Every structure is written in structure tokens, then in C-alpha cells.
């Protein structure tokens, strides 16, 4: 296995950062190495760094790619005119080209008009069908075992955009025993299920580990819990975060005190910021943690909040 061919830039002294920047008017790649996405920032940092000592790598697939010591990061934005299912299938096909020979570690999906229904099918479900078929085409029937942690959230403006981390290290993927794996959700949630695992762990015990927790919400089995009740959804989401952390060997305290932790909190209603922040500061966040609050529509119309984490130890 090897990273994509070394570019002439690889040894250049200029060091790039690959980042996602929130609060933009629409999805856009800028040549300096930033993916801009249209999620309003409610609180916390406006940017998320994927790699901060990276070298740009040329890509023939419309991806901005960055090679760093521990892997490859990159972004792409779909063509504006593509229907969402076709856009998802095309973005993922290109993703598999640029990450050939590597393992996918983490994916973020930014889906415009995520809850809009187009020709009788919700956009998120269209996106899921395109993504799932692309994974199956690439990896065959067993593709479920290769799905990395992901988030799939709404953006106020498109086009569809994606950010990823990949690398040579083989990841381990985890499921939450209290949740049906998303890749096995029944068809009441859409014709093809979402394609992600609940968490992905990269690195062996005793060495540097990155623990990626997917977007996590108030879902038990496959049902949404505490409809219309922010505090009830926060409590269920937090239990799910603790369970997936325990399942991956990181403890129910989400490795508090032993790790660098960053959380992103997606809120459907900007007016939920104050109560959500107060709840999380009381129940999970520590002084040393980074937390970013973003306004986003979520993949089920009845979800008010979704939380993801990156825990590095
Ligand atoms: C859920 O548990 C909530 O479509 O990539 C969370 C994380 C969710 C990732 C995705 C969707 C995605 O089903 C939604």
C-alpha cells in the first residue's frame, strides 16, 4: 500500500494546512487548502484543522488533497448541476480513486437541503442511496465492514461537499450495541441505508491513537428518542457517546483527562445553543476540551441535535 504518487510539492518548504471552515455562504474549495461550508457558527472555533503540517498533492479528480505524516486528507465539492444522488455517487467514486490503496478513517458529508423532498424522496435518502451504491460498486457485498466513522449533516447552501481522512494504518470500526448499525437501518428510513460505522479507531494501544466518533444522535435501536425534547435528546446522545467510547475501549468517560478531545455539536435550532451548551458543560465537557456549535439541519426531521468527537491520545 502506498500514498498517491509524490508530488513535486512534497518537499517544498511551504507547509499547508487542510481545514474545514464553517459559516461560509456556500460550499467552495479554496486553493490554500480550505473547504468552506455553509453551516453557521453558533459558538467555538470557526475552523476545524484536518492536518496542520501537510503538503498539497495534485489530484486528477477535482479533490484538494494533502499529504501529512499520518495520512492523507482532502475535500471535494460536487458539480452544482448534479442531482443529489448522482452527486453523491460521483463524489464517492472520485473519493475511492484518490484514496486507492489507503484505508478510510473519517468522512464528513455536508448535504444541501437535506430534509427537502424531491420527487417523493427526501434529499438525505437520495444522498444515502448514491453513497451506498458507490460503496457497493467499489468494495462489493462486504462493503459494510469497511465503512468508517462519518457525519452527514445539512448545509444551508450547496453544492454537496465532502471531507475525509485516510491513511496506511488499518482502522478498527465499532458499533453501538444499543443502536442498530446505520448500514442495517430498515427501509422505512430510505431505500438504501446510511453508510458509516459508529466509531473508528486508528493506531495501536500504547502508540498515538485517534478515535473518531461519528455524528451521534438520540437514536435507540433504529428509533428516534425524545421527539421535540432537547434535554431528552441530549441525554440519549450522551449515553450513546459513552457507550460507543466504552465499546472501543476508551471508557464511559470518553477518555476525559487522558486525551485531547474536540467535539462538534450540530443544532437544528440556533435558539437551542444556550441550553445545549449548559447541559454539555455540566455533563461532559471539560475546560481543556474544544467544542464547536454549528447550526445545521439533520438527517432526520425529528432530530434536534447531533454530536461528534475526535479523541486523540
Ligand atoms: C444516525 O445515527 C444519525 O449519513 O453519514 C450520523 C452520522 C447520521 C453519519 C451519515 C448520519 C450520518 O443515523 C445521523
Q: What pLDDT is recorded for position 67?
A: 96
Using the mean position of ligand 1's atoms as its centre, give its distance from the Cα of residue 124 in Å.
10
Q: What pLDDT is recorded for position 7?
A: 47
Q: Give me 240's grid cell.
A: 450513546
DSSP class per residue in 64-130: EEEEETTEEEEEEE--TTS-HHHHHHHHHHHHHHHTTTSEEEEEEEEEETTT-EETTEEHHHHHHHH
**R_g of the chain computed on alpha carbons:** 18
Distance between CA 285 and CA 134 in Å, rounded?
37
> pTM for the whole thing?
0.95
Side-chain half-sphere CA neighbours of 150 within 13 A: 24
Q: What pLDDT is recorded for position 31?
A: 75
Determine the atom of ligand 1 nearest the C-alpha atom of 198.
7
pLDDT digits (tens, 9 = 90+) for 60-102: 899 999 999 989 999 999 999 999 999 999 999 999 999 999 9
- The pLDDT tens digits along the chain (313 residues) read 344 444 444 444 358 899 999 999 999 999 788 999 999 999 999 999 999 999 999 988 999 999 999 899 999 999 999 999 999 999 999 999 999 999 999 999 999 999 999 999 999 999 999 999 999 999 999 999 999 999 999 999 999 999 999 999 999 999 999 999 999 999 999 999 999 999 999 999 889 999 999 999 999 999 999 999 999 999 999 999 999 999 999 999 999 999 999 999 999 999 999 999 999 999 999 999 999 999 999 999 999 999 999 999 9
- The residue to mutate among 92, 148, 151, 181, having the most atoms of ligand 1 within 8 angstroms of its beta carbon, is 151
Q: What pLDDT is recorded for position 310?
A: 98
Using the mean position of ligand 1's atoms as its centre, give its distance from the Cα of residue 102 in Å.
23
CA-proximal residue: ligand 1, atom 10 (nearest): 152
Q: For residue 159, say if its preceding peptide bond is cis, omega within 30 degrees of 0.
A: yes
Q: What pLDDT is recorded for position 10?
A: 47
| Catalytic-role residue among 48, 85, 122, 306 | 306
Using the mean position of ligand 1's atoms as its centre, give its distance from the Cα of residue 149 in Å.
9
- The residue to mutate among 134, 152, 154, 178, having the most atoms of ligand 1 within 8 angstroms of its beta carbon, is 152
- The residue to mutate among 123, 160, 299, having the most atoms of ligand 1 within 8 angstroms of its beta carbon, is 299
306 labelled catalytic: yes
Amino acid at each position: 500500500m502506498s500514498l498517491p504518487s509524490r508530488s513535486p510539492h512534497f518537499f517544498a518548504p511551504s507547509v499547508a494546512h487542510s481545514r474545514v471552515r464553517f459559516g461560509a455562504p456556500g460550499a467552495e474549495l479554496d486553493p490554500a487548502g480550505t473547504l468552506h461550508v455553509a453551516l453557521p457558527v453558533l459558538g467555538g472555533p470557526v475552523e476545524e484543522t484536518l492536518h496542520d503540517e501537510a503538503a498539497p498533492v495534485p489530484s486528477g479528480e477535482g479533490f484538494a488533497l494533502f499529504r501529512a505524516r499520518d495520512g492523507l486528507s482532502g475535500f471535494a465539492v460536487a458539480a452544482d448541476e448534479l442531482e443529489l444522488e448522482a452527486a453523491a455517487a460521483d463524489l464517492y467514486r472520485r473519493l475511492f480513486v484518490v484514496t486507492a490503496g489507503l484505508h478510510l478513517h473519517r468522512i464528513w458529508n455536508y448535504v444541501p437541503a437535506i430534509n427537502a423532498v424531491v420527487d417523493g424522496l427526501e434529499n438525505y435518502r437520495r444522498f444515502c442511496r448514491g453513497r451506498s451504491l458507490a460503496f457497493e460498486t467499489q468494495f462489493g457485498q462486504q462493503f459494510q465492514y469497511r465503512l468508517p466513522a462519518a457525519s452527514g449533516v445539512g448545509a444551508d447552501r450547496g453544492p454537496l461537499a465532502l471531507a475525509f481522512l485516510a491513511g496506511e494504518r488499518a482502522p478498527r470500526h465499532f458499533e453501538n450495541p444499543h443502536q442498530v448499525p446505520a448500514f442495517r437501518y430498515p427501509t422505512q428510513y430510505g431505500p438504501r441505508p446510511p453508510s458509516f460505522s459508529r466509531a473508528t479507531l486508528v493506531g495501536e494501544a500504547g502508540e498515538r491513537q485517534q478515535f473518531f466518533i461519528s455524528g451521534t444522535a438520540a437514536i435507540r435501536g433504529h428509533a428516534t428518542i425524545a421527539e421535540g425534547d432537547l434535554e431528552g435528546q441530549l441525554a440519549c446522545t450522551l449515553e450513546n457517546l459513552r457507550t460507543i467510547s466504552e465499546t472501543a475501549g476508551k471508557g464511559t468517560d470518553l477518555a476525559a483527562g487522558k486525551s485531547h478531545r474536540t467535539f462538534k455539536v450540530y443544532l437544528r435550532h440556533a435558539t437551542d445553543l444556550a441550553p445545549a451548551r449548559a447541559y454539555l458543560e455540566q455533563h461532559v465537557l471539560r475546560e481543556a476540551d474544544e467544542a464547536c456549535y454549528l447550526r445545521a439541519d439533520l438527517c432526520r426531521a425529528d432530530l434536534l441535535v447531533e454530536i461528534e468527537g475526535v479523541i486523540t491520545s
